[in-house]
């Protein structure tokens, strides 16, 4: 039985998410096997199925009771409720920060339920490990981790409705079928709406999810279609739903000012002056707790700073401008990016500090090489820059309970962090999941949650803490910069015979790289070549780092895929042919593991992208096509960029053609949107974005110095999916990594200039 999902995740996904996936693999089946069969009572003459579990379940009962409380409701599990008027309420379990899971996950339930989508209402579920298993937004995992569970949740409900109809119509179940919203008895022409069946269905035993019959995918009515986002009406009419939109009676507004030098401690401040400013109610110093520069979603850590509490956001922000703080920088970062670049160049000239992995005989292959190619690649730290600056609302109540309203990507970890901070049991902490205005990995960390919980505890009132844009850019868990010193051996036949990567990264002083700054010893192409060596050197860092959309991959793909193009050029080979040759024979490197490269799927998307983009066309002077492939987050993606570059290195990216294989598509509209956005994000970041720091101080603090790409520079992104029969996987991340190298390879094709340093502005390019 394939019911228990087995899903391993990308080597670059942080440990926290790996633990969540492990928890899912062991706990999901256990949770969903508790069949929610306890009859809790009569409501309005009908039966309501309740839950047999703990506090989370009671919260879920309250959640379900909020809808049609006076009528008989059918609630076969934590994902589905049907009321007698035929309304189907589906509960979306995971945070939505723009990746579209609030639409795509309920679509999976609706498909197997055979619900009429136009009568479905989707609601954000409560946060409960007991009811839902891990709930988070990260690692492009929502679809692969939940696909089977959600299909079965819908199928169980459908089976019970069919049984109820069989009893009502006194016909065998085998004579019944369903159409969206109805059970149909074709022989007699009778139809019963789902709403008419709720009372009867609620009396029936809940069938075993593991053995319930699922649809044949060829009969899918909903999956694979274009479905607009369930919150789009709210989006276009400006209804409240984001973290920043939260309002409560008597809510205070706070801002929390931290030190310019990361990790410095607030010693004193002109608090009396600040407290005398209009609208300001309080101002106070707060101590650092734990080591907040380490990325840890469940950590009850915070940086030292000064909280300002006021009667409006503006009053708090205005007061912060007049705040003067004496900072003790003795424990603060004094890191320098320019210093790191110089040190990396020095380290690249020395033997690596460690060999991470080696296959074949690399030295012999280089000795026999017809040509040796070398390249040193550099990429910077970058910020997540979610358009909604970090914020959170908290209310520490007199009875010791806590309510949190957060746009977090890791709500369960946020509860853990708040419970630890305030030293209260976890069941005293209720987190209301709000929509995030962008995530990209930033909201995996709950530093904004911890800060506001501490402030609310101190003032004993509900409070929203709002980060300014400057705070958001200055206090991020950045995508770490890095350096790759590559060597490639081309043999006499023009093949890539050996590959070596001396990766230069950052540590806190030991050998373990900082968060999101690791390199797998099996990183492509080391995993497909006969001779390859992955080695590492590192330098100490005191800068916060963490996962940023497609962690690891987002930077490694630029370096590796650009260098492989260098090798193709050196070998005087066509890049498409060269890349396919590196893939070699069709094979799945770890059969059955969706996180392992499948060279057949890789070759398919590479050929498809090339075909759709018109690879091999003769291009006019200054115009070129560039190709790149990257496999991450279980997604195989190839992209071809078409660019023009003028004599002043002014760059135009006309079009990027994407070919991806993530198995069957759940929501075609959402999947395509994610790919388009990923490519534009990849280009935007490669083009002009970098976070630099000197003496521990980040030098960018708003969009004037961190220029997110705008519409007039955005390429057309043309997306094609293979829709293979493999299990469906996620698409929030894997389309991003190939974008930068495809564009850089196209720049080479157009100009003969090899880009080895990002952002492109460093090499004189502009848009």
Partner 1 sequence: MQLNVNGRSHDLGDIDPSTPLLWVLRDTLGLVGTKYGCGVGQCSACTVHVNGAPVQSCQLPVQSVADQRITTIEGVAGEDGALHPVQQAWIDEDVAQCGYCQAGQIMSAVALLESNPKPTDRDIDSAMSRNICRCGTYNRIRNAIHVAAGQAPKTGSAS
| Residue 97 within binding range of partner 1, rule CB under 8 A | yes
Q: In the complex with partner 1, which residue's Cβ is closer, 199 or 690? A: 690
731 lies in the site for partner 1, by CB under 8 A: no
Question: How many whole angstroms separate alpha carbon 607 and alpha carbon 592?
Answer: 24
Q: How far is the CB of 87 from partner 1 (least distance, A)?
A: 16
Window contacting partner 1 (CB under 8 A); options: 52-60, 163-171, 398-406, 706-714: 706-714
CB of 139 closer than 8 Å to CB of 444 = no
Q: Does 690 participate in binding partner 1 (rule CB under 8 A)? A: no
Going from the C-alpha of 429 to that of each of 401, 432, 453, 468, 611, the distances in angstroms are 6, 10, 11, 26, 54
Whole-Å CA distances, 306 to 81, 282, 316, 324, 450: 46, 10, 11, 10, 14
711 binds partner 1 (CB under 8 A): yes
- Candidates 140, 409, 545, 674; binder of partner 1 (CB under 8 A) is 674
Q: Going by C-beta distance under 8 Å and a sequence separation of 6 or more, which residues neighbour residue 748? A: 565, 569, 624, 626, 754, 755
* Residue carrying the six token digits 């296959």: 359
Residues 244-263, mask of contacts with partner 1 (x by CB under 8 A):
xx-x-----x----------
CA distance 528 to 565: 16
Give least dist CB 143 to partner 1, A.
Answer: 16
Nearest distance, CB of residue 680 and partner 1, angstroms: 3
Binding string, residues 284-313; x marks residues near partner 1 by CB under 8 A: ----------------------------xx
DSSP state of 582: H
Q: Are strands 716-721 and 651-661 parallel, antiparallel or unpaired?
A: parallel
* Residue 348: CB minimum distance to partner 1, A: 33
Convert residues 583-612 into a mask of x (bound to partner 1 by CB under 8 A) and - (unbound).
------------------------------
Q: How far is the CB of 758 from partner 1 (least distance, A)?
A: 18
End-to-end CA, the chain: 54
What is the closest distance, in whole angstroms, from the C-beta atom of residue 658 to partner 1 in the complex? 12
Minimum CB separation from partner 1 for residue 671, in Å? 11
**Exposed/middle/buried for 357, CB within 10 Å: 0-12, 13-18, 19+?**
middle
Query: Closest distance between partner 1 and the C-beta of residue 463, in Å?
Result: 13
Tokens at 563, concatenated: 């260098």
Please name which of 627, 376, 357, 359 lies closest in space to residue 518, comparing C-alpha atoms. 357
Q: Which of 44, 45, 217, 278 forms a contact with partner 1 (CB under 8 A)? A: 278
Number of residues that bind partner 1 (CB under 8 A): 69
Smallest gap from residue 530 Cβ to partner 1 (A): 39
Residue 280 contacts partner 1 per CB under 8 A: no
Among 290, 360, 438, 530, binds partner 1 (CB under 8 A): 438
State which of residues 419, 568, 602, 679 lies at the interface with partner 1 (CB under 8 A).
679
Select from 76, 106, 297, 670 the one that contacts partner 1 (CB under 8 A): 670
* Backbone torsions φ then ψ of 402, nearest 5 degrees: -135, 135
Stretch that binds partner 1, among 24-32, 438-446, 518-526, 751-759 (CB under 8 A): 438-446
CA distance 422 to 305: 18
Which residues touch 115 (CB under 8 Å, ≥6 apart)? 88, 90, 109, 154, 180, 181, 194
Are the CB atoms for 543 and 333 separated by under 8 Å?
Answer: yes
To partner 1, the closest distance from the beta carbon of 99 in angstroms equals 7
- Select from 84, 95, 98, 664 the one that contacts partner 1 (CB under 8 A): 98
In 541-580, which positions are buried (b, 16+ CB within 10 angstroms) versus exposed (e)?
A: bbbbbbbbbbbbbbbbbbbbbbbbbbbbbbbebebbebbb
Residues 319-348 that bind partner 1 (CB under 8 A): none
Please state, in angstroms and rounded to a whole number, the distance separating the CA atoms of residues 527 and 364: 18
Is 179 near partner 1 (CB under 8 A)? no
Burial class (CB in 10 A: 0-12, 13-18, 19+), 464: buried
Q: Report the residue from 387, 492, 512, 577 that binds partner 1 according to the rule CB under 8 A.
A: 387
Q: Both tokens of residue 555?
A: 């930077």
User: Is 75 within 8 Å of 201 (Cβ atoms)?
Assistant: no
* Nearest one of 112, 192, 181 to 147, comparing CA atoms: 112
> Which of 42, 314 has the CB closer to partner 1?
314
Q: Please say whether the beta carbons of 679 and 717 come within 8 A.
A: yes
Element (H, E) at 232: helix 232-237
Q: What string marks each residue from 181 to 200 as x (binds partner 1 by CB under 8 A) or -?
A: --------------------
Would you count residue 660 as binding partner 1 (CB under 8 A)?
Answer: no
Q: Is residue 236 part of the contact set for partner 1 (CB under 8 A)?
A: yes
Q: How far is the CB of 127 from partner 1 (least distance, A)?
A: 20
| Cα 414 from chain centroid (whole Å) | 16
Question: Is 104 near partner 1 (CB under 8 A)?
Answer: no
Q: Contacting partner 1 (CB under 8 A), which of 32, 141, 378, 676?
A: 676
User: Counting contacts by CB under 8 A, is residue 641 touching partner 1?
Assistant: no
Taking the alpha carbons of 755, 757, 760, 761 in that order, is the dihedral positive or negative?
A: negative
Of the residues 232, 268, 291, 326, which one makes contact with partner 1 according to CB under 8 A: 232
- Distance, CA of 387 to CA of 368 (rounded, Å): 52
Contacts of 626 (CB under 8 A, 6+ apart): 565, 640, 641, 643, 741, 742, 743, 744, 745, 746, 747, 748, 749
| Binding test (CB under 8 A) with partner 1, winner from 669, 692, 757, 761 | 669
Contact between 704 and partner 1 by CB under 8 A: the answer reads yes
CB-nearer residue toward partner 1: 436 or 480: 436
The residue (of 267 and 716) whose beta carbon lies closer to partner 1 is 716
According to CB under 8 A, which one of 80, 293, 362, 385 is a site residue for partner 1? 385
- Does 237 sit near partner 1 (CB under 8 A)? yes
Locate 252 and state its tokens. 């205070």
What mask of x and - would describe binding to partner 1 in positions 127 to 166, judged by CB under 8 A? ----------------------------------------
Is the torsion defined by CA of 738, 741, 744, 749 positive or negative?
negative
CB atoms within 10 A of CB 740: 33
> Does 58 participate in binding partner 1 (rule CB under 8 A)?
no
Which region among 227-235, 286-294, 366-374, 747-755 touches partner 1 (by CB under 8 A)? 227-235
Interacting residue ranges for partner 1, rule: CB under 8 A: 96-100, 117-118, 225-229, 231-233, 235-240, 242, 244-245, 247, 253, 278-279, 312-314, 317, 385-389, 435-440, 466, 468-469, 669-670, 673-674, 676-681, 684, 702-704, 708-714, 716-717
């Amino acid at each position: 039985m394939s019911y228990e999902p087995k899903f391993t995740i990308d080597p670059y996904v942080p440990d926290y998410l790996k633990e969540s996936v492990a928890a899912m693999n062991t706990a999901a089946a256990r949770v969903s096997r508790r069949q929610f069969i306890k009859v809790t009572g009569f409501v309005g003459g009908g039966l309501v199925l309740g839950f047999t579990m703990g506090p989370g379940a009671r919260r879920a009962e309250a959640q379900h009771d909020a809808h049609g409380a006076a009528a008989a409701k059918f609630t076969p599990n934590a994902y589905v409720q049907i009321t007698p008027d035929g309304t189907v309420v589906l509960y979306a379990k995971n945070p939505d920060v723009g990746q579209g899971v609030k639409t795509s996950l309920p679509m999976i339930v609706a498909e197997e339920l055979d619900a009429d989508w136009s009568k479905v209402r989707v609601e954000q579920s409560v946060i409960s490990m007991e009811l839902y298993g891990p709930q988070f937004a990260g690692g492009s995992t929502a679809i692969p981790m939940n696909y089977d569970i959600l299909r079965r949740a819908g199928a169980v409900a459908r089976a019970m409705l069919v049984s109820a109809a069989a009893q009502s119509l006194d016909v065998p179940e085998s004579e019944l079928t369903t159409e969206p919203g109805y059970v149909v008895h074709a022989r007699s022409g009778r139809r019963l709406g789902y709403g008419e069946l709720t009372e009867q269905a609620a009396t029936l035993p809940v069938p075993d999810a593991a053995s319930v019959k699922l649809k044949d995918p060829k009969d899918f009515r909903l999956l694979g279609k274009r479905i607009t986002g369930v919150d789009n009406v709210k989006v276009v009419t400006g209804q409240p739903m984001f973290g920043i939109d939260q309002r409560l009676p008597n809510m205070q507004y706070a801002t929390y000012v931290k030190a310019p030098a990361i990790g410095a401690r607030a010693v004193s401040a002109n608090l009396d002056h600040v407290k005398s400013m209009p609208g300001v109610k309080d101002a106070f110093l707060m101590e650092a707790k734990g080591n907040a520069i380490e990325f840890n979603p469940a950590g009850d850590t915070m940086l030292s700073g000064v909280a300002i509490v006021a009667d409006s956001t503006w009053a708090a922000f205005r007061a912060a401008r007049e705040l003067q703080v004496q900072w003790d920088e003795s424990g603060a970062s004094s890191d320098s990016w320019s210093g790191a670049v110089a040190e990396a160049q020095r380290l690249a000239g020395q033997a690596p500090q460690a060999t991470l992995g080696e296959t074949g005989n690399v030295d012999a292959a280089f000795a026999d090489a017809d040509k040796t190619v070398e390249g040193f690649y550099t990429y910077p730290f970058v910020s997540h820059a979610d358009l909604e600056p970090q914020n959170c609302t908290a209310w520490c109540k007199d009875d010791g309970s806590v309510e949190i309203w957060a746009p977090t990507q890791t709500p369960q970890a946020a509860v853990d962090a708040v419970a630890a901070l305030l030293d209260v049991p976890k069941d005293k902490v209720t987190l209301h999941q709000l929509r995030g205005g962008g995530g990209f990995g930033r909201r995996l960390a709950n530093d904004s949650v911890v800060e506001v919980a501490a402030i609310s505890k101190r003032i004993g009132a509900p409070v929203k803490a709002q980060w300014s844009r400057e705070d958001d850019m200055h206090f991020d868990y950045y995508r770490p910069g890095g350096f790759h010193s590559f060597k490639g051996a081309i043999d006499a036949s023009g093949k890539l015979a050996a590959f070596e990567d001396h990766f230069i990264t950052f540590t806190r002083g030991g050998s373990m790289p900082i968060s999101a700054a690791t390199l797998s010893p099996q990183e492509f192409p080391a995993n497909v070549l006969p001779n390859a060596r992955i080695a590492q050197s590192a330098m100490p860092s005191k800068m916060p780092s963490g996962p940023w959309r497609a962690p690891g991959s987002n930077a490694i793909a630029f370096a590796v895929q650009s260098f492989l193009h260098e090798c193709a050029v050196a070998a005087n080979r066509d890049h498409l042919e060269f890349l396919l040759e590196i893939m070699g024979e069709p094979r799945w490197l770890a059969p059955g593991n969706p996180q392992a490269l499948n060279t057949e799927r890789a070759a398919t998307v590479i050929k498809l992208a090339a075909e759709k983009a018109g690879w091999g066309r003769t291009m006019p002077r200054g115009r070129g096509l560039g190709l790149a492939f990257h496999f991450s987050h279980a997604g195989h993606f190839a992209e071809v960029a078409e660019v023009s570059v003028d004599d002043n290195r002014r760059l135009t990216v006309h079009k990027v053609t994407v070919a991806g294989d993530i198995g069957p598509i759940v929501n075609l509209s959402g999947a395509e949107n994610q790919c388009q956005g990923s490519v534009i994000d990849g280009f935007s970041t490669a083009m002009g974005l970098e976070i630099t720091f000197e003496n521990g101080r980040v030098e960018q603090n708003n969009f004037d110095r961190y220029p997110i790409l705008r519409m007039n520079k955005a390429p057309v992104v043309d997306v094609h999916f293979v829709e293979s029969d493999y299990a469906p996987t996620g698409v929030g991340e894997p389309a991003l990594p190939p974008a930068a190298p495809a564009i850089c390879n196209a720049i080479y094709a157009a100009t003969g200039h090899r880009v080895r340093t990002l952002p492109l502005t460093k090499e004189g390019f502009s848009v």
